[in-house]
Structure 1
Amino acid sequence: MPKVNLHKRDYLDNIDQDFANPEFIDKLAPKFHSSDLRVNRSPYLTERNVNYRWKALGNEECRRQLLDPHTQEQMALYSKNIEFFVGTLKMPVGTAGPLRVNGLFAQGDYQVPLATTEAALVASYNRGANLITASGGASAMLLNEGVTRTPGFAFKSLIEAGQFVAWLVTQFDHFKVLAESTTSHGKLSDINVNIEGNHVYLVFEYLTGDASGQNMVTIATNVVFDYILAHSPIDPDYAFLDGNLSGDKKANSQTLRSVRGKKVTAEVTIPEELVQKYLHTTPKKMAQFGQMTTVGGALSGTIGINAHYANALAALYIACGQDAACVAESAIGMTRMEVTDEGQLYASVTLPNLMVGTVGGGTGLPSQKACLDLLGLHGNGKSQALAEVAATLCLAGELSIVGAFCAGHFSRAHHKLAR
């Protein structure tokens, strides 16, 4: 006989009884009275608009915290990054390092700024970074680049879809000119065609230079999309600029084998004595942990296998002005740990979805630019290096957390540092 969750059953029983209560029904009913909490006079950042919003919000203590004098002095710098501005949020920032990266683009030791409110996080990455550095550094390699946007088109039949594709494949050179007319940095590198019945999905893939590039590829693809609707010999019944095939800001399996953003792999080989010194465990036990959790990940339906890429990437993205929502896709990847013939620990990470940039977006804001400057990675020509640093940072975190579980220190560290 299957087990019954008694707490859940009682809760549902209570809801069933509450639906007979008029007060319960009234709580869920629509409310159409006007709101006194109207603060959005205009989305634009001007001193007059900001003052209007705070007058409407009416909380002076909150205003002092969010709109401090330093923020007021720099207020104009935020005008292209946010609407309905009311102030800035202060996040604690720590650094983990030195993290030694032997990459194609990132070379040297880095102190990596991490913005987080989670105790024990920076300490964990700092430990992993120091272990990697003591082992001579991690080798890191940028494997591929590409940012996608995926329009979708619906037709009456498969025949019409096929006729549309037959015309479409003759237009790439013209599409490339149209797309690249909208940007001085983006390059349309490929268009893949996916037919699903009477639906056609197009995967537009771009190189975006040193920008993360999501807005760039949206604007470029929209120009081509409008051209297709105006000139296609077969009119679609309906069409949309994105058909949800890009994997934008959501976990997805298709880019696990390809790329969205920047695909990077990093590896390190660590002598047994250093594993013992820094992690208080053995290579064998860490490899066993990897085997068990790989099976556990498969049982849970996890996309990719890793311990906690999201911790590193969220803290790094927030500190360095990246789009933090991209962690949803960027935190997918593969971690492996094996024991070598010499008894050393081999560890590697592969992340195919690193959405990072060193120009544009939030990278030019005062605090975020300062964090990129700490890394020496702000501006043109630095995004590939940032991606290699990000992957190596994830490797540091994997080593540290797996070591903590193997040594029985995971709960103890959180108890000590979080209290």
Structure 2
Amino acid sequence: MREATDDQLSLQDDPAWEHGANSEVGRLRTVLLHRPGAELKRLTPRNNDKLLFDGIPWVGRAQEEHDAFASVLRDHGVEVLYLTELLQEALEFGEARNEIIDQVVDDRRLGDRLRQITRAYLNDLPPEDLTQALVAGLAHEELKIGRGLVYELMNRHDFVIDPLPNLLFTRDSSVWIGDHVAVTSLAMPARVREAELTRLIYTHHPRFQGVHRLYDPALEHVEGGDVLLLAPGVAAVGTGERTTPAGVERLARRLFDAPRSGHPVQTVLAIPIAQQRATMHLDTVCTMVDVDTVVMYPAVAYSLTAYTVTVGPDDELRVSRARPFLEAAAQAMGIDRLKVIDTGLDPVTAEREQWDDGNNTLAVAPRLAIAYERNIETNSRLEAAGIEVLRIAGSELGSGRGGPRCMSCPIYREAL
């Protein structure tokens, strides 16, 4: 296996490779995506619920839609990085390979014999094929050297290593806050390995050498879709189906303790949201499209509350009483009010477009956002408010319940 060279270890000094974000709307310069691939072909009516998909996507069309999404980003000056390419490059190094193989085979379902065989199989794979196995999974029938009781009693359609169809939603497994990265702790068992792969990239890829990690997968559950950077120094964190109150508390503590050079957050707004699939993350009901403007699902726009978390002189976390989210956010941001663009003119339209990720926009710059084309009413309201909308197709991409923001992890935004 390769060892890191002096040249590779100095890559973080390349001025073209800047990292960090202090807002949701600063000019987007670098983004991490995952182009859907063979892992989506593993979905069947038998396993799609377990793997958190509401339907079986047409993979070829999903890839076309994703390629168009990436093209829109590039057309607007955004550098697009692909997770699998970074992972494959990281796996050129022996330490990274050993680390991830140890984690993958540490699965009580396998038993000793199948664990040994699986480890040997993965050890023999070149980086490209190992990346494929880690992302698309390893089916029972593909492990030709499989032996032992566990292997014999497995259904031939089962997986020795489960696929990761939700890897498409790169927002959830990491979030940049200032010049620090939080590698998150994903709540659903089907997604745990996504965070481990992401952590591997930030730990071992030369591009990210020296980056400070705020958070790790072993900590309390926090998912990136619940984290909104409302303004420099202000973060809103939803707590509901995927992010726990303990996770919000831990993240706040880590943010307040972060090195001051990284422009850390001084205020965290903890926002309870309904613990159901339609509102699995805060960004399914609220995203930012300008420095003082959000697009929100009207059913919750004026009912969301927030607890303001700060740190006192005694270094203890201070938690305010619950207040209306819009009021607490405006105060923390230092503005008179946070403008709201409602999604939909009537309750039925609003509910339909919220389910179709109408609220889940990705800001490329202030007043410039990417949205699914099918959310006609929401997009019209955005444009009426002076927001330029870059429409993309999402008929197949949306089958895992995620929009443009879900599918993208900003690695570098220009500071506001």
TM-score relative to the length of structure 1: 0.25
RCO higher in structure (CA 8 A, sep ≥6): 2
Query: Is the radius of gyration larger for structure 1 or structure 2?
Result: 1
